[in-house]
């Protein structure tokens, strides 16, 4: 294959052109050029109004005659793919409706066989479904209760910048290197100290720094699970964990919840079979419900885990964000030794972009997780770890935590008041004592998925409940993040949501009336 010097794309202003030409082929060169450009246009790589090189310039770059390039352009003009403008040049034309075709829309048979095999996978990430819903919102900048993180206006950017600058000023070559594979020793010691103050026994050598808590979950899953294994999870649960476990090709069994968290009778049923290889749980400020597992049930979880030999993966993503009530012991604090793997993160409290999380594990499992961590990404950013350690050491973290809890509590109360003021009778929720979310049940038989487009039309979006259940099905629930917006925006968002619910109720009632007319009761 003969070609020309490479570039970032097929056509690049001021740069080179990469069009593969096979001079040994029986296909004329002008047809090869036209075919390549045609595919690029239809795939969307060459957008409408892109100016193509002049025929003389492209001929020189490709080492062909100007006539060859002119014939290629002429063929594409006759197909309506290019348009010539006198004195200006040749441009990609606006394609007729339906002709555009990007790479994600290629026919299945167009891909290599090894890629076609991937099309048989039944795993569809829940987060991709949410992204698709959000991208289809007709109004720009809707009020979004769908976020999974804290308020960006509270991120301690200035203070963290100072900490980062101070670390960089040290001009320590180790700071810019990989650092310790288990994590910065000072940060590991600080985390162990913080956890110890919370009643969670943790030694520095049991702490492993990860790239966010999501990586911690992934490492545990890769180490302990094999395709076909059964994992017990709360139903509903964190959609990112559902996606992760499905990607490992394991079977998820949902454990129903009530107002005290997981139902212990159903948890024991799931463990009794002997097939469960892991229990994944969020006992404190659960995502998405905001519930806390009761103190008695926390002890029961550990007793069942020991009885049936099932390891417990505890996700404490927002345990610091408590606004009311009495703190409950983490499962790790009750661990008699080696049964609980504990994960946490700084992303929710500080900035998701830090990508610094951690896990605590005791026993042989720690070395296995460390080995997997090394093979996955060698080490978490040492620079970010050093900056985070500096930020925590001077006491800024606790100051930020107290401020965030004050603001988040006020915003939570505002959301609850707005739900009470605007939402129709029959709407139900529980006020969480902490965390980020309120779990709302719609009135009657309304579907959150069916409500979504109506809400989007009103300029408000949320996370539909179906994303959080391991058994995919329509749900009357929706998750609302109360931390992101100030009070006036929260109130306006709920007012818009209530308007969408009123529309959905009218549609639902109309459907019922039509059904009664079409299927009258027989005597």
The percent of residues in the chain predicted with pLDDT above 70, rounded, is: 85
**Encoded tokens for 193:** 């100290």
* 116 falls within a domain: no
Q: Give residue 71's domain range.
A: 1-97
Does residue 161 share a domain with residue 145? no
- DSSP three-state, residue 216: helix
Radius of gyration of the chain (CA): 28
Last residue of a domain, one of 367, 395, 423: 395
* 522 falls within a domain: no
CA diameter of the chain: 89
Q: For the chain, what is the domain count?
A: 3
Q: What confidence tens digit (pLDDT) does each residue in 45-78 have?
A: 888 888 899 999 999 889 899 999 999 999 998 8
Q: Which residue has the higher pLDDT, 152 or 327?
A: 327
| Residue 121 confidence (pLDDT) above 70 | no
| Residue 5 confidence (pLDDT) above 80 | no
DSSP run (H or E) holding 23 = none
Does residue 420 share a domain with residue 346? no
| Residue 512 confidence (pLDDT) above 60 | no
* 84 falls within a domain: yes
Does residue 389 share a domain with residue 370? yes
Does residue 435 share a domain with residue 463? yes
How high is the pLDDT of residue 302? Answer: 98
Nearest to 328 by CA among 435, 403, 218: 435
Residue pair 228/249 in contact by the 8 Å Cβ criterion: yes
**Encoded tokens for 75:** 């063929």
pTM (predicted TM-score): 0.78
**Separation of alpha carbons 520 and 488, rounded Å:** 48
Nearest to 267 by CA among 240, 293, 291: 293
Average pLDDT of the chain to the nearest whole number: 87
Residue pair 474/449 in contact by the 8 Å Cβ criterion: yes
CATH of the domain at 262: 3.40.640.10
Contacts of 212 (CB under 8 A, 6+ apart): 345, 347, 352, 355, 356, 357
Alpha helix positions (H), 395-478 = 396-422, 448-458
* 114 falls within a domain: no
Helix axes 382-393, 157-169, angle to 10 degrees: 110
Does residue 48 share a domain with residue 147? no
Last residue of a domain, one of 375, 395, 415: 395
- Strands 51-52, 89-92: parallel, antiparallel or unpaired by DSSP? antiparallel
* 109 falls within a domain: no
CATH of the domain at 39: 1.10.10.10
Nearest to 4 by CA among 93, 64, 94, 85: 64
Nearest to 276 by CA among 247, 297, 241, 245: 245
**Separation of alpha carbons 399 and 405, rounded Å:** 10
Does residue 218 share a domain with residue 365? yes
How high is the pLDDT of residue 15? Answer: 46
CA neighbours closer than 13 Å in the CB half-sphere of residue 465: 19
Q: How confident is the model at residue 39 (pLDDT cuts 50, 70, 90)?
A: confident
Does residue 351 share a domain with residue 307? yes
**Encoded tokens for 358:** 């951690």
Does residue 376 share a domain with residue 247? yes
How high is the pLDDT of residue 79? Answer: 85
Q: What confidence tens digit (pLDDT) does each residue in 237-262 have?
A: 999 999 999 999 999 999 999 999 99
For 76-85, the CB contacts below 8 A with 24+ separation are 76/34, 76/37, 76/38, 76/41, 79/38, 81/37, 81/38, 81/41, 82/37, 82/52
Does residue 160 share a domain with residue 137? no
* 380 falls within a domain: yes
Does residue 373 share a domain with residue 251? yes
CATH of the domain at 407: 3.90.1150.10
Q: How confident is the model at residue 2 (pLDDT cuts 50, 70, 90)?
A: very low
* 81 falls within a domain: yes
Tell me whether residue 5 is exposed, middle or buried, using C-beta atoms within 10 angstroms of its C-beta: 0 to 12, 13 to 18, 19 or more: exposed
* 276 falls within a domain: yes
Last residue of a domain, one of 355, 371, 395: 395
Nearest to 392 by CA among 353, 361, 354: 354
Does residue 140 share a domain with residue 194? no
Does residue 425 share a domain with residue 461? yes
How high is the pLDDT of residue 130? Answer: 67
End-to-end, the C-alpha distance of the chain in Å comes to 80
Q: How distant is the alpha carbon of residue 499 from its chain centre?
A: 28
């Amino acid at each position: 294959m003969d070609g020309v010097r490479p570039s970032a794309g097929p056509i690049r202003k001021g740069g080179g052109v990469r069009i593969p030409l096979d001079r040994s082929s029986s296909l004329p060169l002008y047809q090869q050029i036209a075919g390549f450009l045609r595919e690029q246009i239809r795939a969307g790589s060459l957008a409408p109004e892109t100016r193509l090189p002049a025929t003389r310039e492209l001929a020189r770059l490709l080492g062909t005659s100007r006539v060859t390039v002119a014939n290629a352009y002429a063929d594409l003009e006759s197909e309506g793919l290019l348009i010539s403008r006198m004195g200006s040049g040749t441009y990609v034309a606006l394609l007729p409706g339906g002709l555009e075709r990007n790479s994600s829309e290629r026919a299945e048979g167009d891909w290599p066989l090894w890629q076609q095999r991937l099309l048989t996978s039944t795993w569809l990430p829940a987060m991709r479904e949410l992204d698709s819903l959000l991208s289809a919102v007709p109004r720009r900048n809707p009020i979004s209760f769908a976020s999974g993180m804290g308020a960006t206006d509270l991120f301690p950017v200035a203070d963290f910048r100072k900490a980062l600058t101070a670390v960089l000023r040290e001009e320590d070559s180790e700071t810019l290197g990989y650092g310790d594979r288990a994590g910065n020793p000072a940060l590991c010691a600080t985390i162990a100290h913080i956890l110890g103050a919370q009643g969670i026994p943790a030694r520095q050598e049991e702490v492993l720094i990860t790239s966010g808590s999501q990586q911690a979950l992934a490492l545990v899953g890769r180490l302990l699970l094999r395709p076909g294994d059964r994992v017990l999870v709360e139903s509903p649960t964190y959609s990112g964990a559902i996606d992760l476990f499905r990607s490992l090709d394991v079977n998820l069994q949902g454990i129903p919840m009530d107002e005290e968290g997981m139902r212990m009778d159903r948890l024991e049923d799931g463990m009794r079979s002997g097939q469960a290889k892991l229990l994944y749980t969020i006992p404190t400020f659960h995502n998405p419900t905001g519930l806390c597992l009761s103190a008695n049930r926390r002890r029961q979880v550990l007793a069942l885990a020991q009885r049936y030999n099932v390891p417990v993966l505890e996700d404490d993503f927002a345990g610091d964000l408590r606004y009311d009530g009495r703190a409950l012991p983490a499962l790790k604090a009750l661990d008699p030794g080696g049964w609980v793997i504990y994960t946490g993160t700084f992303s929710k409290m500080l900035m998701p972009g830090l990508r610094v999380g951690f896990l605590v594990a005791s026993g042989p499992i720690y070395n296995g997780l460390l080995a997997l961590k090394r093979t996955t990404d060698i080490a978490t950013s040492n620079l970010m770890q050093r900056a985070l350690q500096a930020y925590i050491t001077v006491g800024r973290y606790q100051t930020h935590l107290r401020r965030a809890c004050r603001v988040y509590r006020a915003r939570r109360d505002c959301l609850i008041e707005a739900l009470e003021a605007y939402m129709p009778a029959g709407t139900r929720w529980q006020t969480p004592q902490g965390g980020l979310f309120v779990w709302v049940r719609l009135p009657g038989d309304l579907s959150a998925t069916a409500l979504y487009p109506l809400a989007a039309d009103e300029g408000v979006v949320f996370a539909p409940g179906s994303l959080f259940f391991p058994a995919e099905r329509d749900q009357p629930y929706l998750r609302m993040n109360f931390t992101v917006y100030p009070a006036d925006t929260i109130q306006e968002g709920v007012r818009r949501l209530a308007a969408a619910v009123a529309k959905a109720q009218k549609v639902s009632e109309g459907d019922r009336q039509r059904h009664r007319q079409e299927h009258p009761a027989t005597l």
